[in-house]
Amino acid sequence: MIGFIGRRLLLTLPVLLGVATLVFSLIHLIPGDPAQAMLGEAASLEDVAELRGKLGLDQPLLAQYGSFLAGVARGDLGRSLRTNQPVTETIVERMPATAELALAAMLVAVSIAIPLGIVGAVWRGTVVDHAAMTLALAGVSIPNFWLGPLLALVFSVELGWLPVSGRDGLASLVLPAISLGAALAAILARMTRATLLEELRELYVLAARARGASRARAVLRHAFRNSLIPVVTLLGLQFGAVLTGAVITETIFAWPGIGRLLIQSIGFRDYPLVQGCILFIAITYVGVNLLTDLVYGVIDPRIRYD
């Protein structure tokens, strides 16, 4: 197990290096000057040049890239160009909000998708199955940048049941979580149905029924458990989509997480903060996929990590 984790961590290093290089290159291709943005359009050329020198933006691009990689290796992502606050500290402050939203969205997705998938598989070809899959198709077809404002308009503006923005208790979490988790629920429901249908055709399910197991026990205890590996794989892969979708959702609902921080940083041309946010998302995604691989061994004891 330890050797497997060590090998996986070593393999992530080139990935993270590639992400860091790509982010550094793309952020410097964005039109605009951070120094000019900080001082305003009325600032003189001398003031802009002086600030560029203080921020190190007057150095060659390769020198800036080398300084960036050296800082990442030390765990130092630099300081925000706008607030002069350490990037790591800023990300850590926003991390709980994003983690809360991502976990709530995953909970919404699983709570909707698993029952829909099981119902669709057990009553395959019936009206219940068609209704469940139609609902799943609607969920995957609606983008969260449209669903979010629609939910806010109906439940916040018209009905006044839930807060429209901000992070103030569980009530303010409901709409962002539903907006972010709806698409994942739709994909997960279809995957659950497909994998469970394959398992229900296996002889061990018929044997369980022959031994006196109830239909519910045969489906949930035997077939559903054996169909979980593809479902867990999809959950791990879609966690990255949840993190990237959080960028839009947090902006719509003014949720004070890393996604909204990323959008604000891009607007201010805050290079260190943009790089730090995207690196955090990449590291989280890699970590979740490693955790997904480890969960396989819990689901299926036959899997070994030798």
State the average pLDDT over residues 151-156: 86
pLDDT in the model for residue 298 = 64
Question: Poorest-confidence range of 1-15, 19-33, 230-244, 289-303?
Answer: 289-303
Helices vs. strands in the chain: H and E counts, helices first: 14, 0
pLDDT value at 5 more than 60: yes
Tracing tokens 């219940």 back to the chain, one arrives at: 128
In this structure, the dihedral spanned by the alpha carbons of residues 262, 268, 273 and 277, taken in order and rounded to 10 degrees, is 10
- Quickly list DSSP for 151-190: HIIIIIIIS--S-SSS--STHHHHHHHHHHHHHHHHHHHH
pLDDT in the model for residue 210 = 76
* Calpha distance 205→203 (Å, rounded): 5
DSSP 304: -
The answer to whether the CB of 270 falls within 8 A of the CB of 286 is no
Which position has the higher pLDDT, 265 or 144? 265
State the average pLDDT over residues 92-121: 87
State the average pLDDT over residues 200-209: 74
Considering Cα of 191, then 193, then 196, then 198, what sign does the dihedral take?
A: negative
Cα 264–Cα 60–Cα 47 angle in degrees, nearest 5: 60
State the average pLDDT over residues 205-224: 74
3-state secondary structure of 86: strand
pLDDT in the model for residue 33 = 67
pLDDT value at 300 more than 70: no
pLDDT in the model for residue 229 = 77
- Which CATH number is 95-299's, of 1.10.150.120, 3.40.50.720, 1.10.3720.10, 2.120.10.70? 1.10.3720.10
Q: In the predicted model, what is the mean pLDDT of the chain? A: 79
pLDDT in the model for residue 148 = 82
pLDDT in the model for residue 124 = 84
Confidence of residue 230 (pLDDT cuts 50, 70, 90): confident
Would you list the domain boundaries of the chain? Answer: 16-73, 95-299
In this structure, the dihedral spanned by the alpha carbons of residues 278, 290, 15 and 245, taken in order and rounded to 10 degrees, is -30
Question: Poorest-confidence range of 35-44, 76-85, 254-263?
Answer: 35-44
CB atoms near residue 150 (< 10 Å): 12
Tracing tokens 């991390």 back to the chain, one arrives at: 95
Q: Of 110, 281, 227, 253, whose CA–CA distance to 174 is shortest?
A: 253
Considering Cα of 253, then 258, then 259, then 260, what sign does the dihedral take?
A: positive
pLDDT in the model for residue 262 = 86
